């Protein structure tokens, strides 16, 4: 597909360059981190990493957590319907 200048080829080229710059910065950071001997700085990076790695469960609302917990409790009590039965019941929407 060909683009004219007005249709974004300059923008597209800019995105590629910015993306390459980000990748280069990441590589430089990895190299620097690999040589790092300062434990205090390393601990700060570890703390930052942990803060960025949110568990999906922590991102759910109270209502979503409650519904999941209720579903698990129902399954534990044997209150389940097989996949086969569900598919048979709703086959008209497949």
Helix (H, G, I), strand (E, B) or coil at 50: helix
Place of tokens 């597209």: 12
Do residues 43 and 51 touch, judged by C-beta distance below 8 A?
no
21: left (phi over 0), alpha (psi -120 to 50) or beta: alpha
Model-level pTM? 0.41
pLDDT tier, 92 (very low <50, low <70, confident <90, very high otherwise)? confident
* Segment of 12-16, 20-24, 29-33, 51-55 carrying the highest mean pLDDT: 29-33
76 in Cβ contact with 69 (< 8 Å): no
The pLDDT of residue 8 is: 46
């Amino acid at each position: 597909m060909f683009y004219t200048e007005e249709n974004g080829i300059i923008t597209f080229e800019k995105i590629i360059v910015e993306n390459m710059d980000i990748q280069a910065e990441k590589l430089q950071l990895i190299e620097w981190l690999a040589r790092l001997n300062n434990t205090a700085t390393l601990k700060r990076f570890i703390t930052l990493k942990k803060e960025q790695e949110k568990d999906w469960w922590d991102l759910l609302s109270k209502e979503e957590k409650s519904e999941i917990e209720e579903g698990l409790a129902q399954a534990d009590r044997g209150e389940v319907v097989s996949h086969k039965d569900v598919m048979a019941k709703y086959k008209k929407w497949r």
